[in-house]
Structure formats: structure tokens, C-alpha cells
Amino acid sequence: MEGHSTYQPKSKVARWFESRLPLVGLVHSSAIAYPVPKNLNYFWTFGAILTLMLVVQILSGVVLAMHYTAYAPVSFARVEHIMRDVDFGWLIRYIHANGASMFFIAVYIHMFRGMYYGSYKAPREVLWILGVIIYLLMMATAFMGYVLPWGQMSYWGATVITNLFSAIPIVGETIVQWLWGGYSVGDPTLNRFFSLHYLLPFMIAGVVILHIWALHHVGQNNPDGIDVKSVAKDTVPFTPYATIKDVFAMVVFLLFFSWFIFYAPNYMGHPDNYIPANPLSTPAHIVPEWYFLPFYAILRSIPDKLGGVICMFGAIAVLAFLPWLDTSRVRSAKYRPLFRQFFWIFSIVAVGLGYLGSQPAEGGYVIASRIFTAYYFVHFLVILPLLGFIEKPKPLPASIADAVLAKNGGAGGATVVAGASAPQTKG
């Protein structure tokens, strides 16, 4: 469902350039003439918000890197130098630190929207897998960035997470020493993490380009999860319709972002990270950033170290197989009443795991973590495959136009029965 550009260069120079590098035509077909379903809601604006946040993080990170020194004895002091002595350094650092949390808030909404409306189903499997790769790269980048201030939680968080690789049989200890560049987290570790933290955002940008390319090739999903039958009736041009909606959503999100920057800049951080790293003093309660907490809870819920590591990484890897684990032919939860109930249970479990990950690994918290971890995997490996066989979906609208008319009280048109009689194989 790629847009066909109607761009015609006016001047001789423009025609000469377009015949050799049709860059303006590409932009026109991708961001102006590109057809989007006319029933998209505001959850579809988070792709644009995430693109904005990626640019914000890269630009603020480049400026911070100009003043930062990846040398363990001075790294903590250099961060304080940025905060106190560099012109607007406090603002740039708060933008970058809170921008990471905003990035993850937006990506979690983006992911849960995709799961609710079935945006991972054929023909968008590759699009979804590229999204999971972006998510993994984001997690790696955020973890390494959290180490750079070289505070107590930075140091001990790096120690705990890198130690997980020691659970790998035979080669685990060797891998850990290679990551550390020695026999403990220290200056070589900090240098390596800084280099990778600077590099990975540009890798993310590259995969984002592939993600957008894949999206434009198969076309966008929509809240009704039905294919475009007629470009003229079911779609509208990306500009101005989607553009205006995206710009409005970005402004609202930036207002939300700005509130944290100016009124609660340390709300999502940890106070122990304002204490310089001390290898001789372990914090009473080591916790990662909030966006890692669900997986941290899964890790701690398993009594065996190797089993915990496998479950933690498996909880992320299982997302890549979602297009094949969900056996239903109907995409949107709007027409899947059973799936919708299980989706909201899963959402509560995911948030609950985040809460449990922030609590001490003792007593009832461990028991609850094990129950929630079990449900997390049962949802993907048992419930979703079975729902496709036992669930009776609601009738689907015949087209996007009919769905829009029905929503607005017009003549909705005919419907078709969802399920085996209405396979959906095209984007």
C-alpha cells in the first residue's frame, strides 16, 4: 500500500535533480501522498512521537558527550560539571535522562496498541520483528547509559546485570571478564559502555528506517483490523490528515515531557545515583530503571540463576514469535471478546510485575512474582494459541468506510462473518 507520488518538478534544476535522485518524490510519496486508513485513532500517533524522541535523545546525547569523560575517577564529577558549570547543561542532561523514560513510555504504548489491534499479524510479521529488535537495542542503550553517571546504582546495577552472563555454562565467567575488561566493573567497563551507548542510537535509527520502509510497503493496520478495499473510499492522504494529528499529539506529549524536566526532573531516577560509585558499599536494595522492572521481577522469581536468565530473555524473545502464537485470523480486539479480556489481564500482570520488581525479593513479593511470571508465559504459549480455535469473533465490517459510517451513525453497509470464512492475508 505504498503511495504513488504525483510530484512534478516545476523548474529545470528540480527536474534535473529528480531524474537523477528522486528524493523529493520519495518524500512526497511517503509523507504526503501516502494513503492511511481513515479510521486511525490517536494511538497511531506514537510512531511519530517515538521518532521525535529518538531525535531528541541523539541530539542531547551528542551535546552531553562533548562534556563527558569516560574515566572512572572523574566521571561522576564530570556529570556534576555538566549540571553546574556548562551553560544550560542541567537542561540538556534532564532532557536526556527524562527523555529515556519518555521514550519507553511511548514505546510501551506503541507495543500494547500493536498487541491490542493485532498489528503483528500477516502481512506485518517482519514489521513487528523489526520493532522487537528496536526494543532490544533500546534496552541495551538505556542500560549502558544508566552506567555512565558512575553513581552507586550505576555501578552496582552494572555489576548485577553483567554478572548474569556468568550463568552460561562453561564460558560464562570468560564472557563476564571480557565485558568488564578485568575482574570487576571498572574503568575499562565504563569506556566500553560509553562507546556502545554512543553507537547504538545510530543503529536504532537504521532499524527505524527499515521499520518505516516495511510499514509503507504493507500498509498500516487500523482499529478495525480489516484490509483496505478501496484507496478512494477507505483511505485519506497522510498530509494533511495524519500530519495534523501527529503534530498535535507530539505537542501534547512534549508538554507532558516538559513537566518532568522542569518540575520533577529526578522523579524517575534513584537517589543513590547521586552518591559516587563505591565498590566497598553495596546499596541496601539494587533496582534498575523502571522500564526494566517487569523483566527484573521475572529474573528474581526463578530460584535457579541460569533459569532466571533464560526466563528473563525468553520473556522478551517470545514477543518476536507473537505473529505465529496468535492463531486467530481476526486482528482487532474490537471483534474478539475473549481475547480482549485476556489482553487486559495480561496488561495488569505486566504492570504488576513492574511493581514487584521494585520491591525487595522476599516473602509474598517473591510468591506473587512467580504467579505473575507463570501467567506471562501462559498468556503467550497457551492462551493465545487456543483462543484462535475456541473464540467466536464478532462480525467484521465489509470495509473501513462502512466501519466509519457505522461509528458516525450512517448506513453502515453489509458485514461479513469473521473467522475461517474471512481470512485476512493482505495489508
Burial class (CB in 10 A: 0-12, 13-18, 19+), 396: buried
CA angle 114/323/350 to nearest 5° reads: 55
**Helix boundaries (H) for 117-151:** 125-147
| Alpha-carbon gap, residue 177 to 171, rounded angstroms | 10
- Asked whether the bond before 237 is cis by omega within 30 degrees of 0, the reply is no
150 near 76, Cβ under 8 Å? yes
| Alpha-carbon gap, residue 371 to 379, rounded angstroms | 12
For the chain, domain boundaries: 1-7+24-266, 287-394
Collapsing DSSP states into helix, strand and coil, what is residue 79?
A: helix
211 near 126, Cβ under 8 Å? no
pLDDT at 291: 97
pLDDT at 3: 55
> Cα–Cα distances in Å, from 270 out to 89, 274, 350, 355?
20, 8, 22, 15
Taking the chain (427 residues) in consecutive chunks of 10 residues, what is each chunk's mean pLDDT?
72 93 92 95 98 98 98 97 97 98 98 98 97 98 97 96 94 95 96 97 98 96 96 95 97 98 96 95 92 97 95 97 97 97 98 96 95 98 97 96 85 44 43
Q: Is 379 annotated as a binding residue?
A: no
Burial class (CB in 10 A: 0-12, 13-18, 19+), 5: middle
| Alpha-carbon gap, residue 197 to 199, rounded angstroms | 6
Asked: is 1-7+24-266 a CATH 1.20.810.10 domain? The reply is yes
Q: Is 270 annotated as a binding residue?
A: no
Q: Is 28 annotated as a binding residue?
A: no
| Alpha-carbon gap, residue 47 to 341, rounded angstroms | 26
Class of domain 287-394 as given by CATH: mainly alpha
Which cell numbers in the block locate residue 174?
570468560
